[in-house]
């Protein structure tokens, strides 16, 4: 038995070393653009453009003003752009001050993979589900081709994506968290588990659509530990034993997130067979985020269940940037002083420091399948 373990360990080490060696031999990909699809975890201004703009103190930490992001500063998608030496993505829905030469962002806060029969005014669910984001991308690509042909000067064309570069772009996906939150609200766990194959199939259909139009490099995030979002505990008292894990996260919700991720990974593996020319990377964001929350103090952060922006005392909660009367006094849901130690920004979304920590641990490929950095995500393995 001991000999078998030694042999297995040696083979595993050999596989890892050979994988690292192969990656070292590859040149870095040159991605001319990023096209992103997702929810508030990667929305850089879409929901603000479509509805009421996100207000201060959102954005104050890095941009020094609201920047359409549900955070005090940059999101993981911003760190992806930085890593690939590209500009931050403009939201497709934002008509002013946009730059689409190097990509566009179709993500909107509250988006789901599967369409929901409710409005954004009820539970904050965006009307721009993933299938609609793909329709918008199709329209964007077709319109780009048309305008590029019509452009009469190099100056006019310089503001447009180069049509041939759609095939060389990186297509990123970060969506699925809201499908789970809707499921927790509308279904029991058995019903939600039964719905997951359809949900992940719809994400696969989005990838297939882009592939059919020439897209080849895909970077797909799984969903994070939704049970670790402080919002899930705002009004909970006298919880039964076992409801929370040792770090204060809701056990059952995280188990559902892990089941979703298992099914998503299986579907991505199948996609690699169905799309023979595609380079598809599955990224384990869950492990990175849970790793941060479970080691918060060691990593120099505050408690992962403590919110930075907003007011929460007993059963009184005032959302980040809002005001309300509490015991006859006006109270403002402002932000914490030390942003660099915050994990949760507002109870739902991560602070910039946490986003950067997570980005540093996923962009190098150590939590990806295959284990390649994002700078080599154009290669099929």
User: What is the rounded CA–CA span in Å between residue 187 and residue 31?
Assistant: 41
Q: In sequence order, what are the residues at sequence separation of 6 or more whose Cβ sits closer than 8 angstroms to the Cβ of residue 16?
A: none
**Coil, strand, or helix at residue 189?**
helix
Q: Pick the catalytic residue: 42, 126, 346, 368?
A: 346
Please, what sign has the CA dihedral across residues 183, 186, 189, 192? Answer: negative
Yes or no: say if 250 and 229 are a contact pair by the CB < 8 Å rule.
no
Beta pairing partners, 35: 104, 171
Residue 163 DSSP class: G
Please, what sign has the CA dihedral across residues 271, 23, 219, 362? Answer: positive
DSSP-based helix, strand, coil % in the chain, nearest 5: 45, 10, 45
Between strands 103-105 and 368-369, the pairing is unpaired
Q: Pick the catalytic residue: 39, 40, 221, 284?
A: 40
Residue 123 CB neighbours (<10 A):
14
349: annotated active-site residue:
yes
Q: Pick the catalytic residue: 39, 179, 349, 368?
A: 349
Q: Which residue has the tokens 């041939």?
A: 164
252: annotated active-site residue:
no
User: What is the rounded CA–CA span in Å between residue 352 and residue 309?
Assistant: 12
205: annotated active-site residue:
no
- Cis preceding-peptide flag for 66 (omega within 30 of 0): no
**Coil, strand, or helix at residue 281?**
strand
Q: Catalytic amino acids?
A: 40, 346, 349
């Amino acid at each position: 038995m001991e000999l078998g373990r030694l042999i297995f360990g040696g083979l595993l080490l050999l596989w890892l070393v050979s994988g690292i060696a192969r990656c070292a031999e590859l040149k870095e990909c040159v991605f001319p653009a990023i096209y992103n699809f997702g929810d508030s975890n990667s929305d850089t201004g879409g929901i603000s453009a479509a509805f009421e703009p996100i207000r201060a103190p959102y954005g104050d930490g890095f941009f020094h003003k609201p920047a359409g992001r549900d955070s005090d500063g940059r999101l993981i998608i911003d760190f992806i752009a930085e890593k690939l030496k590209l500009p931050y993505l403009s939201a497709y829905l934002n008509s002013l001050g946009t730059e689409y030469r190097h990509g566009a962002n179709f993500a909107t806060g509250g988006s789901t993979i599967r369409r929901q029969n409710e409005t954004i005014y009820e539970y904050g669910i965006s009307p721009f589900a993933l299938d609609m984001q793909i329709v918008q991308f199709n329209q964007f690509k077709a319109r780009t081709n048309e305008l590029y042909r019509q452009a009469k000067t190099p100056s006019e064309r310089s503001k447009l994506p180069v049509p041939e570069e759609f095939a060389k772009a990186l297509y990123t996906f970060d969506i699925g968290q809201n499908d789970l939150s809707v499921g927790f609200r509308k279904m029991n766990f058995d019903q939600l588990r039964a719905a997951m194959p359809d949900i992940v199939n719809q994400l696969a259909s989005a990838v297939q659509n882009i592939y059919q139009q020439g897209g080849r490099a895909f970077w797909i995030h799984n969903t994070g530990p939704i049970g670790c979002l402080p919002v899930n505990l705002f009004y909970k008292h006298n919880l039964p034993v076992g409801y929370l894990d040792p770090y204060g996260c809701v056990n059952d919700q995280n188990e559902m997130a892990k089941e979703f991720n298992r099914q998503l990974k299986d579907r991505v593996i199948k996609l690699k067979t169905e799309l023979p020319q595609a380079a598809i990377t599955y990224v384990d964001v869950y492990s990175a985020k849970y790793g941060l929350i479970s080691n918060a103090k060691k990593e120099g952060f505050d408690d992962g269940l403590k919110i930075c922006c907003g007011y929460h005392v007993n059963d009184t909660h005032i959302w980040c940037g809002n005001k309300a009367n509490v015991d006859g006094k006006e109270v403002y849901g402002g932000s914490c002083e030390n942003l660099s130690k915050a994990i949760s920004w507002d109870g739902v979304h991560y602070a910039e420091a946490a986003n950067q920590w997570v980005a540093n641990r996923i962009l190098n490929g150590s939590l990806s399948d295959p284990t390649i950095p994002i700078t080599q995500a154009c290669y099929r393995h």
